[in-house]
Amino acid sequence: MYTKQHLRDLIESVDSYINHGGEQQSLHQMRKGDPENGMNAEDSSRSFYSFVPTEHQPIDNRQRHSRPGAPAAHYWAYLFSVIKMRFAAPLAAVISILGATRGIADLPPPPAPESFNVVELPLPPVAPTSGEGACTPDINPHGTGCIQVALDGFQAGGFTPDGHHVVVSVVMVGAPAAPDPASIYTGKQLILVKADGTTFPNGDPWKCLSCAVAPENAVSLDPLRNYPQAFRSGDKVLWGRNIVDCDGEPLQSEACAAEKTHIYPIHWNSKPDGTGSGPRELRIHPDNEHLAWSSFTERGGQFCYLGQLALNPDPEDGVPRYDLANVQLLVDPNTNPPIEAVGSELRLHDDAIMLGELRGFSGTGDEITYVGPPVESNNIDLFAIHLITGKVRRLTAHPDYADPIAFSWDDEWFVAMDTRVSERQMFMSGMRHVPPLIDLVTVTVASSTRNNGRRRFFQPVLVDRHGDRGDYYGQQVNAEGDDTDGAVNDPNWNGRADPGFSPDGTKIVFWQGLVVSPSCGGVNPLPCPESTADGGREYRLMLATRLDHEPKAVPPVFEVPESIPWATPYCPDDFEAPPLYTVEPGSYTLHGQAFGVAHVRIIAGNQTVNGLQRVVVHYDGYSDDGEHVLDGTEDVTVTVTPPNFWNNRVEWYSDLSQTGAVNATKKTSPGGFFLELDAMVNIFNATGNLTTTIDGVVYQRPLNGA
């Protein structure tokens, strides 16, 4: 067993050699960070191994900044002689010690498992049809409306600041005709649901916030009304591209009545003439003043933005609205790309600032969360970036796909909706420590197989703020159950966006959708389950109470600076979208951080999003951690047919083997694996097989349409 003390002994031995020879700076200085020798505090979190080159590693290829200079060849030889003489251990064992001290050693041990009590929260009753008058007094004696069976239009958000209510978007149907007072309960509406077992004064456990708002108080509502999020001020709700404003009154109070409520659209000048792609995936900052969002480009890409909300009650053109001011494009023009070509070599930059799709903010608002570029091949993960420093943290590392995320208000936990419970992605991404080279052409399909049409394969997973590490991959919130129809862990009920924490961290709210046709039934190989929810509806709202978690105080909210140091000011008058990330076609070499090499050929394609069509990689004893050794070849070609840049067809050939810490293979059938996916539809359609086997466990591709 090799310990950190062994490592210290090794360092002292090599230090002694260096100090007596006087030819190189000490490893002790390298580890600590010595500004006089070209190192800084950022380097101190990395192992010295990264800075010691070999004949096959002239520079560290996984650092964000290149480091000049290197110890002499005889120094490297001496280091190995010390390793052999003092420990008689394989190189991989020493590298393992070094890797353990890099990053993970600075993190606390994983938390103990928790216990949860998971229940379903009440929603309005379900009307049998959407026809006029279908919501009868027998169904709802209070005359406060009914909701539809279908999942479309339903979406739950987080808690209000009192911790007792949840904001929810529903579709109401079956209302009687006017002038019946119940005629207002129709169409897409925003409601408040009790999460503490109590009711509102009328006896309902819900209250409609938008149903009776006068037309003059809700002019030109934007049709995008999703991802409801309560402001921490407690008097407003972000509802898609709209803000429901209760004029300073708490949403749950009787004073928050229809006559006091206004619904304002959100306006963003994405082009000088006011046209252009609108904001999507909007998320409110905890300060109640800033908003972040994503927006598609015209060629199958998207960028993320941050702006400040400003109420414009009387604009020169248009209706009263909230304008997005001081908009900043969340792109760092000076960052290194995730994969960089330098001469004939490739360098990987795991800390590249490149936001894929925005997911929200940390609990205090000091970080933005997002889906980022893969660090490991075909492994789509969540990241966080600090608003001032630009420091990037990888939050999830499990090979499966993670997307929706919510942080606790005290920043100590997050819940991610993840496919790790279903192992949906393991056939493609299960082999770990493979550099993301073929991802230059596979990232669209890798990020789209996690769904099948409207079906998600998500379940809520609780992870501490430090994220996945070692063998710790969090804890499924709704794992307790008997897997029967309607159980809290019924795999046919799938998690959706977004979950949320109560302010004190003791409760988690999430919602689920039931798999329905055409994702099951008919010609689909999967049978459709019967809904066990009220009225047979296809969705349910769930509340998990953390039985072992003590209530926590809410810390102060982070103050967003006027200008984000690493972002780019946005002005529609002279804005030119930055080019999408790509790599110049050619033949390259990528050296493993530990040892080995990958020979890479990148081939251009005019019709693709990033200008690349094919990537061929041959691994020869490649390893980044000294424990997982990779050999074999992957060859992937992507075909895109404009104008639909979201539709990708890949021709995939894999014959990889991995030895060392695991015995794994990733192989396609002899004729290859052909997969076609539209990222806007997500219907799995493939011929041939792609299979990953890890220590005897076999992960097969999904069935078509399943």
Domain assignments of the chain as residue spans, ordered by start: 4-106, 330-531, 586-699
Q: pLDDT digits over 5-14, tens only?
A: 444 444 444 4
Strand 321-329 and strand 568-569: the pairing is antiparallel
Asked if the model's pLDDT at residue 15 lies above 90, the reply is no
Judged by average pLDDT, the poorest of 23-32, 312-321, 575-584, 687-696 is: 23-32
pLDDT class for 592, splitting at 50, 70, 90? Answer: very high
pLDDT reported for residue 269: 86
Q: Calculate mean pLDDT across residues 285-296.
A: 97
Instruction: Give the chain's largest Cα–Cα span.
Output: 95
- The single residue listed with the structure tokens 């420990």 is 87
pLDDT reported for residue 105: 60
Comparing CA positions, the residue from 574, 601, 564, 598 lying closest to residue 586 is: 601
Judged by average pLDDT, the poorest of 382-391, 569-578, 589-598 is: 569-578
pLDDT reported for residue 106: 85
pLDDT class for 40, splitting at 50, 70, 90? Answer: very low
pLDDT reported for residue 126: 99
pLDDT reported for residue 104: 57
Q: Calculate mean pLDDT across residues 308-334.
A: 94
State the chain's mean pLDDT as an integer: 87
Note whether 243 and 233 are within 8 A (CB): no
Q: Residues 446, 568, 296, 497: is their CA dihedral positive or negative?
A: positive
Q: pLDDT digits over 104-152, tens only?
A: 568 999 999 999 999 999 999 999 999 999 999 999 999 999 999 999 9
Q: How many CB atoms lie under 10 A from the CB of residue 141?
A: 10
Note whether 383 and 362 are within 8 A (CB): no
pLDDT reported for residue 73: 33
Q: How many CB atoms lie under 10 A from the CB of residue 40?
A: 10
Note whether 126 and 486 are within 8 A (CB): no
pLDDT class for 35, splitting at 50, 70, 90? Answer: very low
Q: Calculate mean pLDDT across residues 289-295.
A: 97
CA atoms within 13 A on the CB side of 591: 17
pLDDT class for 534, splitting at 50, 70, 90? Answer: very high
* % residues pLDDT > 70 (the chain): 84
* % residues pLDDT > 90 (the chain): 78
- To 10 degrees, what angle do helices 73-87 and 4-21 make? 140
Q: pLDDT digits over 223-259, tens only?
A: 999 999 999 999 999 999 999 999 999 999 999 999 9
Q: Name the more confident of 667 and 578.
A: 667
Asked if the model's pLDDT at residue 86 lies above 50, the reply is no
Q: Calculate mean pLDDT across residues 17-24.
A: 38
Q: Calculate mean pLDDT across residues 637-662.
A: 95
pLDDT reported for residue 274: 59
pLDDT reported for residue 454: 87
Asked if the model's pLDDT at residue 80 lies above 60, the reply is no
Asked if the model's pLDDT at residue 313 lies above 60, the reply is yes
pLDDT reported for residue 277: 65
Residue type, 328: Q
Q: Residues 645, 648, 653, 657: is their CA dihedral positive or negative?
A: positive
Backbone phi and psi for residue 537, each to the nearest 5 degrees, phi listed first: -65, 160
Note whether 15 and 28 are within 8 A (CB): yes
Q: Name the more confident of 369 and 12.
A: 369
pLDDT reported for residue 276: 60
**What CA–CA distance (Å, rounded) separates 595 from 630?**
10
Asked if the model's pLDDT at residue 275 lies above 90, the reply is no
Q: Calculate mean pLDDT across residues 194-199.
A: 98
Judged by average pLDDT, the poorest of 46-55, 209-218, 307-316, 567-576 is: 46-55
pLDDT reported for residue 296: 87
Structure tokens at 435: 């550099």
Q: pLDDT digits over 440-493, tens only?
A: 999 999 999 999 998 999 999 999 999 999 999 999 999 999 989 999 999 999
First-to-last CA distance in the chain?
Answer: 46
Q: Calculate mean pLDDT across residues 626-638.
A: 99
Asked if the model's pLDDT at residue 671 lies above 60, the reply is yes
pLDDT reported for residue 304: 97
ω into 498 cis (within 30 of 0): yes
**What CA–CA distance (Å, rounded) separates 244 from 223?**
14
**What CA–CA distance (Å, rounded) separates 375 from 655?**
21
pLDDT reported for residue 6: 44
User: Strand ranges (DSSP E) for 289-356?
Assistant: 290-296, 302-312, 321-329, 339-342, 345-348
